[in-house]
Amino acid sequence: MALIIKNSAGFVLDQAGIELPATVATAFAVGDALQRDTANLYLERAVAAAAPSDADTGLFGISMSIKAAATALAKVVPFIVGMLLEVDLANNSSASHTLQRMVLTDHDTVNNNGTDSTANEGVFLQVAPIGAAADKKALVMFVGSQGQVNA
């Protein structure tokens, strides 16, 4: 399932998404995290630890429809700071992870390894676990790169 929008921080979003150029090399599923590729000017599935501030690619938004590999457009809702999302986790969910920042493991999973990620890529802040620990789900807030600790 991946990422599901729960609240858009006071913004009214068209949950159908906006159509933007996308790679024809890969299919997208509903809920895939997408990043932009500034060299090719299209969206692609996010990779592990994608950040909004990466030089050549940056975390952009969530795929809102299935996109076949040969299709050059994708329906996307951009990430908004403060947006609440239900996410799939790499490990069992835990209340002890609440208020920890987390990175993507890949395009559809957030890495909850039990430590607060101070890297630029730690853009998902756990608000609460969802369901049983084995469900591996949490409510997170997209915090973007603001508030990140940079040496």
Helix (H/G/I), strand (E/B), else coil: 37: strand
pTM, rounded to two decimals: 0.84
pLDDT digits (tens, 9 = 90+) for 118-147: 877 889 999 999 999 999 999 999 998 544
Identify the bridge partners of residue 79 per DSSP, sorted by sequence position: none
54 or 15: which leads in pLDDT:
15
* pLDDT, average across residues 15-30: 90
**Mean of all residue pLDDT scores within the chain:** 84
**SS3 for the chain, per residue?**
CCCEEEECCCCCCCCCCEEEEECCCCCECCCCEEEEECCCCEEEECCCCCCCCCCCEEEEEEECCCECCCCCEEEEEECCCCCEEEEEECCCCCHHHCCCEEEEEECCEEECCCCCCCCCCCCEEEEEEECCHHHCEEEEEECCCCCCCCC
The confidence score (pLDDT) of residue 32 equals 94
Here the tokens at position 62 are 């969530």
Tell me the domain boundaries of the chain: 11-78, 84-142
For 71-112, how does the pLDDT look when each residue is reduced to its tens digit (9 = 90+)?
999 999 988 888 999 999 999 999 999 999 999 888 999 999
